[in-house]
Structure 1
Amino acid sequence: MVIDLWHLAHQMFFGAIAAAGFGVLFNFGLRNLVWCAGTGALALGVRTLGQDAHLSLEASSFLAAVMASSTVSLLRGALGPRGNAVALAGCIPMVPGAFFSQALLGMLAVTTPHPENAAVIITATEYFLRVFFTLAAIGAGLAIPAQLFRNPDF
């Protein structure tokens, strides 16, 4: 497996910017925006490495969310109770918005008086399922480490 460092750095840089932007939307302070940016860079970097290793988008997103949530849970002393929100802000840039928009456009095409063909329905359903399973993978990846680190006897 050959790692394209420029592509990885590009994904991490823009993941950091997007996560910090979501931190602004969540009304975090300046100190926490740095943590959001770091979590976003970590999450997008892990997801990019997973996809470069030929994992699916869903599996790569799950691993990235687990890594982000685990890192934030280990740094609970520095972040305090905001840790889970910082991990969430870092993982939001992984939501597949392009797939969701294609699914919505496909479903709108189905509602026309005379749909062109059944392939539009199949493609739109495929995109909806990809979005659903990716969101489920991110949610599970955020929740599992948070619960495990909170309850060490679990």
Structure 2
Amino acid sequence: MIDLAAQARIVLHQAFFGGLAAAGFGVLFNFGPRSLALCAGAGAFALAVRTLGLDANWTLEAATFVAALATASVAMIGLRGIGAAAQAIALAGCIPMVPGAFLNEALLGFFTISASEAVNAEAAILPSLQAMLRFIFTLGAIGAGLAIPSHLARHRGF
């Protein structure tokens, strides 16, 4: 059992580097200095929520969905005055949650299988497919989590 102080350090570690990565993506998106700070905040929030979900034994996909949904909701409510830029800031905050390790594992496995002299292709195909599916589902969770709040905000019935 991990103690509360250690868990807080893990969450703060993930939040710090999530914020740093999100600010980096904000630079790539050519955001201004104020928006970069908001991107860093969104990234820190997203990674903190995902880390807490993973600590609660949620799947990566579920924790990522909830983190993206919470980040987009907070951005839309807290940054209501800046319009569509709030969605772009939420997107930049969620990009650090993209599981590149799963995509890397899947592609390397597929390259191994597609070699002219593939050895143990049957053994490599299942882990490659699992990694690709986890990547796709996590990416879909991010997309759905980002899209739901903006979709609901456009309809007066909600």
Question: TM class, shorter-chain normalised?
Answer: over 0.9
Matched, 1:123 2:127: yes
TM score, norm. by length of structure 2: 0.93
Amino acid at match of 2:137: F
Identity of aligned residues (%): 52
Deviation at 1:151, TM superposition (A): 2.1
Matches within 5 A, 1:70-81: 70-81=73-84
The aligned amino acid for 2:112 is: A
Q: Which of the numbers 106, 131, 135 marks the counterpart of 2:139?
A: 135
The equivalent residue for 2:98 is 95
Q: CA deviation at 1:119?
A: 1.7
Task: Measure, in 2, the Cα distance between the counterparts of 1:55 and 1:29.
Answer: 35
Matched, 1:65 2:61: no
Q: Where in structure 2 are there 5+ consecutive unaligned residues?
A: none
Does residue 1:44 correspond to 2:47, yes or no? Answer: yes
- TM-superposed CA distance for 1:77, in Å, is 2.9
Aligned counterparts of 2:45 and 2:85: Cα–Cα separation in 1: 18
Number of residues paired by the alignment?
A: 154
Q: Deviations over 1:73-119 (max 9, x none)?
A: 10233433201100000000000001101111000000112322212
Q: Name the structure 1 match of 2:117.
A: 114
Gaps of 5+ in 1: none
Give the CA deviation at 1:147. Answer: 1.1
RMSD (Å) for aligned C-alpha atoms: 1.3
